[in-house]
Structure 1
C-alpha cells in the first residue's frame, strides 16, 4: 500500500499522542473527521499502523536498562534467540550488521537483577561473547 504525505502526517501526529481524538487529527491535517477516520482504518487494515501503545512514565519504568551486544556461534542464532525469549527482562532482540550479531535490550529493577540477567545472557549456549552498555540518562525519547 502506498502512503502519501497526509498519511505520514497522521502517523507523526499519532506517534506524538496515540490517543489523539479524530477531531483533533482532522483539525491538524485540515481534513474532515470522516476522511481522517477512513484513512486511519485503511492504514490499520493494511498493517501500516500495527497498533497503538503507551510510553511508560517514570513511575512504571524499571530502574535500570541496558543494551547488550551479543556475538553468536555459527548456526546458533535461532537457539540463542529461543533462550533469550525465555529470560524475564529481555525487552527486544534485534539482528545487526557489524562485529556483533544481536542487539539485546534489557531492563531490571536492581543492579543485582541486572547483573544476574547479563550473566545468564553471556552463559547461554551458543553465545560467543557479550558486551553490556548500561543506559544512564535518556536524552531523547520519541
Structure 2
C-alpha cells in the first residue's frame, strides 16, 4: 500500500484526535469531505489504520510503569507468553534480539502491586532472568 503525504497528514490528525469530524479533517487538509472519507475507508481497509482507541489521561493511568527485560530458556516462549497473558499488569510484550528475548510494558497502581507482578514474571517457568526499569517521568509521548 502506498501512503502519500496527504494520507500521512490525515493519519497524524487522527492520531492527535481520532474523534475529529470528517468535515474538520477535510477543512484542515483542503480536500472535499467525501475525498477524506474515502481516504479513511481505504486506509482502514488496507490496514494502515488498524483501529481507534482511548488514550488515558494521567488521572486514569496506573501510577507506576516499568519496562521489564526478560531472558527465557530456549523453546520456552510459548509457555512464558501463556503465563504473561494471565498477568493483568503486563500491558504489552515484544520479542527482541540481543541479550534479552522479550521486552514487557508493565503497569501497577502501587509498588507492592508492581513487586508482585515482577515476582510472577520471574517465577514463570522458562524465565531465565529479568531486569526492571521503573519509569520516572515521561518527556516525550507521541502515541
TM-score by length of 1: 0.97
Count of aligned positions: 142
Once superposed, which parts of structure 1, at least 4 consecutive aligned residues long, lie more than 2 Å away? none
* Aligned equivalent of 2:25: 25
* Aligned equivalent of 2:11: 11
* Aligned equivalent of 2:60: 60
Matches within 5 A, 1:1-142: 1-142=1-142
- Provide structure 1 residue ranges, at least 5 long, that are not aligned to the other structure: none
Instruction: Please identify, of 36-45 and 1-10, the stretch whose mean Cα deviation from structure 2 is larger.
Output: 1-10
Q: CA deviation at 1:49?
A: 0.5
1:7 and 1:58 map into 2 onto residues whose CA distance is 30
TM-score by length of 2: 0.96
Deviations 1:53-75 (A, max 9, x none): 12101111011110000001011
SS at match of 2:56: coil
1:132 and 1:74 map into 2 onto residues whose CA distance is 21
Deviations 1:97-139 (A, max 9, x none): 1110000001111110000000100111000000000111111
Deviations 1:72-92 (A, max 9, x none): 101111111111001111100
1:37 and 1:128 map into 2 onto residues whose CA distance is 50
Q: CA deviation at 1:27?
A: 1.4
Q: Once superposed, what is the RMSD of the aligned Cα atoms?
A: 0.8
